[in-house]
């Protein structure tokens, strides 16, 4: 029986779609069918002609009814989830730590749900890493937002009456998004500094032509994550970081922790010490923000600084982010399609480690513990908690993306 991959509309305010023509060709080459809701790709500018040999549905309900595997950006609306049937496969960014009720609802429906946020951080999974691909777009966008709002040129400018000095940009967090922000700010000609509590990121920051802010504190932990700082270390870090913030014209923060509120890094006192007209872009605005005074979706005047809390940054460039998202999902799904039929290999650590629900249970140990749910029996094999479970984080890191790839 031919497996059908369904693409429902992503919903209001989400221009990305998890399918592009190139990926349709790859799916059909594996013997799979593709069913797309009409209009689902309009905002990402993928025309019906560019998508090729697909079937079309007139509603999300029709896609859910006709698909074996559902690809989504941020999950399904509640009314569509209610129509899911046992054995159906759902995959996308499902926010696994957000709600015990939601996780249990998927389990009770008998759905095999793969939350791509849980993808194990191993080399073989790099081509499937949605957080990294979308994070790169977010870091790029943060710099463009800052440059558009800054009252200064980013690059050095020579004109008839003299020379204008370049802007100083500080990027806090040196994961995928942070490094992309560093690289983009350098391309625009700014003087760039980067900071992360993980000392191993120094080389990565410096390889992009930026200077590393050394606070004298190392929070290197296990698995590419940061450990919890002591009170003394935290005070030392804050003092050194406050100086770097005060000297900057632009600050971009990129720290987030899966399933938790984003750590507060830039305080009101730090903002008050900045120069008038300074710009701060908080990439973590949607999860509480790294900056005191951040409001998601708003530009706020906080002391002398303008604090910007952008939302859905990858959605600002849906052509490329849809392409990246679709390729990530294809690379994850392809091993499950054998001769056109669905065949999930639960001995594969990538597949098992990304599973949220299966056979009526929440099967990811880390999620089950974090949400206070009963641990599932070891069938299918469950991932180790360290694969994607939130780790204790110090006050300035980017553990959602871990080591740069």
* pLDDT one-digit tens code per residue, 308-364: 999 999 999 999 999 999 999 999 999 999 999 999 999 999 999 999 999 999 999
User: In which band, very low, low, confident or very high, does the pLDDT at 378 lie, cut at 50, 70 and 90?
Assistant: low
Q: What is the pLDDT of residue 388?
A: 40
How far is C-alpha 26 from the geometric centre of its chain's CA atoms? Answer: 25
* pLDDT for residue 11: 87
CATH number at residue 33: 3.40.50.720
Residues identified as active-site: 121, 126, 129, 132, 225
The reply to whether 298 and 343 lie within a common domain is no
Report the DSSP pairing between strands 305-308 and 279-282: parallel
If pLDDT is split at 50, 70 and 90, which confidence band does 237 have?
confident
The pLDDT assigned to 387 comes to 40
Q: What are the structure tokens assigned to 131, written together?
A: 């957080």
247 in a domain, yes or no?
A: yes
Residue 213 near residue 385, CB atoms below 8 Å:
no
What CA dihedral angle connects 351, 357, 363 and 369, to 10 degrees? Answer: 120
Q: Which DSSP letter does residue 153 get?
A: -
- 313-334 in b/e form (b: 16+ CB < 10 A) is bbbbbbebbbbbbbbbbbbbbb
284 and 189 in a common domain: yes
The helix (H) or strand (E) run that includes residue 101 is helix 100-108
- Whole-prediction pTM value? 0.89
266 burial (CB, 10 Å; 0-12 / 13-18 / 19+) is: buried
Tell me: do 228 and 278 sit in the same domain. Answer: yes
At residue 221, the pLDDT reads 57
On whether both 19 and 96 belong to a single domain, the answer is: yes
* Domain's final residue, options 292, 316, 340: 316
Domain-embedded: residue 243: yes
126-141 mean pLDDT: 97
| Domains: count for the chain | 2
């Amino acid at each position: 029986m031919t497996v059908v991959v369904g693409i429902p509309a992503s919903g209001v305010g989400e221009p990305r779609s998890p399918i592009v023509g190139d990926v349709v060709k790859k799916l059909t080459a594996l013997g799979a069918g593709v069913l797309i809701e009409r209009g689902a790709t309009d905002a990402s500018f993928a025309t019906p002609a560019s998508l090729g040999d697909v079937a079309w549905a007139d509603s999300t309900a029709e896609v859910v009814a006709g698909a074996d595997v559902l690809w989504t950006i941020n999950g399904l609306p509640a009314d569509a989830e209610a129509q899911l049937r046992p054995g159906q496969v759902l995959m996308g960014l499902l926010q696994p730590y957000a709600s015990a009720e939601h996780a249990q609802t998927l389990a009770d429906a008998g759905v095999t749900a793969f939350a791509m946020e849980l993808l194990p951080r191993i080399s073989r999974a790099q081509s499937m890493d949605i957080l990294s691909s979308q994070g790169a777009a977010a870091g790029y966008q943060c710099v463009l937002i800052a440059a558009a709002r800054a009252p200064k040129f980013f690059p050095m400018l020579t004109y008839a009456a003299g020379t204008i000095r370049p802007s100083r940009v500080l990027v806090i967090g040196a994961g995928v998004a942070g490094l992309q922000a560093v690289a983009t700010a350098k391309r625009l000609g700014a003087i760039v500094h980067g900071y992360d509590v993980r000392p191993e990121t120094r080389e990565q920051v410096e390889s992009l032509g930026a200077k590393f802010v050394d606070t004298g504190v190392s929070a290197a932990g296990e698995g590419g994550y940061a450990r919890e700082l002591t009170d003394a270390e935290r005070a030392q870090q804050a003092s050194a970081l406050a100086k770097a913030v005060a000297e900057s014209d632009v600050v971009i923060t990129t720290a987030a922790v899966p399933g938790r509120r984003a750590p507060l890094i830039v305080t009101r006192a730090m903002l008050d010490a900045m120069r008038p007209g300074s710009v701060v872009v908080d990439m973590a605005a949607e999860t509480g923000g790294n900056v005191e005074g951040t409001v998601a979706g708003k530009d706020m005047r906080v002391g002398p600084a303008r604090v910007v809390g952008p939302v859905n940054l990858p959605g600002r460039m849906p052509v490329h982010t849809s392409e990246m998202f679709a390729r990530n999902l294809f690379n994850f799904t392809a091993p499950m399609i054998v001769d056109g039929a669905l065949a999930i290999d639960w001995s594969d650590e990538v597949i098992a480690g990304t599973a949220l629900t299966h056979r009526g249970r929440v099967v990811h140990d880390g999620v089950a513990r974090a949400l206070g749910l009963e641990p599932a029996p070891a069938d299918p094999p469950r991932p180790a908690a360290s694969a994607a479970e939130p780790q204790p984080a110090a006050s300035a890191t980017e553990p959602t993306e871990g080591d740069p790839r």
